[in-house]
Amino acid sequence: MKGRMNTGFGEVVINPDVIATYAGSVAVECFGIVGMAAVNMKDGLVKLLKKDSLKHGINVSIEDNRISLEFHVIVAYGVSISAVTDNLISNVRYKVEEFTGMEIEHIRILVEGVRVID
């Protein structure tokens, strides 16, 4: 479902792919996040996604103009996962709500792997 906002000039419709791309760009700016992950369910393999395909590591659902996000991330080795995820949630919540004008219902983070930063 797409997000909808009514303004004095008409209706604005936001595609979930736009929200996913924006949320992905916000996520990779957070300290401790190496990148988004693509999971191959058949083989159980996790692949680090390149910058141009960030939205593939994020699932977006919109119900009653409330956004739910699910991130598949790879975190940096040696950092506190709870600190990284708390930072990710607060940054994404603030920036996506400002960007879309819609409320975020919940954010789910799935840590798919750990990598050493080069």
Q: How confident is the model at residue 3, as a pLDDT?
A: 72
- State residue 11's pLDDT score: 84
Cβ of 63: how many Cβ atoms within 10 Å?
9
> 32 near 77, Cβ under 8 Å?
no
Q: Exposed, middle or buried, 9 (CB in 10 Å: 0-12/13-18/19+)? A: exposed
pLDDT in the model for residue 1: 60
pLDDT digits (tens, 9 = 90+) for 38-95: 766 545 556 665 665 667 789 999 998 899 999 999 899 999 999 999 999 999 999 9
Rounded to two decimals, what is the model's pTM?
Answer: 0.83
Confidence band of 116 (pLDDT split at 50, 70, 90)? confident
